[in-house]
Amino acid sequence: MNTIGGRPTEPRELVRAVDRVSFLYLDRCVVNRDSNAITATDERGTVHVPAASVGVLLLGPGTTITHQAIALLSDSGSTVVWVGEQGVRYYAHGSSLTRSSRLLEAQAHAVTNTRSRLRVARAMYEMRFPDEDVSALTMQQLRGREGARVRRVYREHSERTGVEWTGRSYDVEDFEAGDDINQALSATNSALYGVVHSVIVAIGCSPALGFIHTGHHRSFVYDIADLYKAELTIPVAFDVAASASPDIASEARRLIRDALHGGKLLERCARDIRRLLIGDPEETDSAEYFEVDTISLWDDRHGNVAGGVSYGDAS
């Protein structure tokens, strides 16, 4: 137990990321600390969870967390993200899971080099359209292919559900101005953005450094969310529109919440991001990218050099 002024936990003493529970979602409870465990208490009783076994703690509606619990989670290399129901809608986050900047550096390096940025962008399109060879396409050609594929997805679900589709149209200032399908799409996409945003910050990446989208503080969020829309948000939105629900937004959020939670999107999203930035996650030791706690100094000739060393002339 790390008391005030005590020694911070060393990375080698922590549970490796690969051996942790990736994401733990809690709602309608009080989160506290008992020795090296966090506790979740509601009317049914109290559950103890070793803090070092948690990668990311998602706090849903109705949760209260104590200062002691936050301090323990921080010391354990875990992060806390405040979210909506079942992880839907990102609100805020604490420190990221990683103590290393390597994944963020990989993102920054890839996005600032034209060749590597195009490589990642192509990989994103390959993940969305695995039956097409996009290895030699330019960004203009990729956008054209994407537009055609997405229009086809909308058309297929329109035919499947009988919901008329005349195109994507929405007013961010007037949600109810859209027709049922556009309202449902706005609600499901918003939920997806929240989940993806929480994963991005939890693993230490920047939501702003996008590869396809750019110039917005959530550009990378939109990049990653687009990987899953054809599979998740679009079919759910058409189902909601076809149901003639009196409350399109609420029904859309409920159904997409269940789809995201049941499909284990949190773990899948984290895996996909790592694959895009550093290669196959199965071949990369998580400890190398998440639990390294070494501070180095940059050198323009020799790369990184050791920190905590006096480089002054002793003479």
Residue list, annotated binding site for Mn(2+): 146, 213, 226
The terminus-to-terminus CA distance of the chain in angstroms comes to 44
Question: Do residues 193 and 218 lie in contact, with contact meaning Cβ atoms separated by under 8 Å?
Answer: yes
Tell me the CA distances in angstroms from 8 to 74, 75, 83, 244, one per residue in order: 10, 6, 28, 55
The annotation places the binding site at: 146, 213, 226
CA angle 61, 63, 68 (to 5 degrees): 150
Distance, in Å, from the CA atom of 3 to the CA atom of 5, rounded to the nearest integer, reads 6
Max Cα-Cα span within the chain: 83
Q: Which of 224, 217, 203 is nearest to 104 (CA)?
A: 203
Cα–Cα distance, 71 to 274 (Å, whole number): 27
Q: Are the C-beta atoms of 24 and 58 separated by less than 8 Å?
A: yes
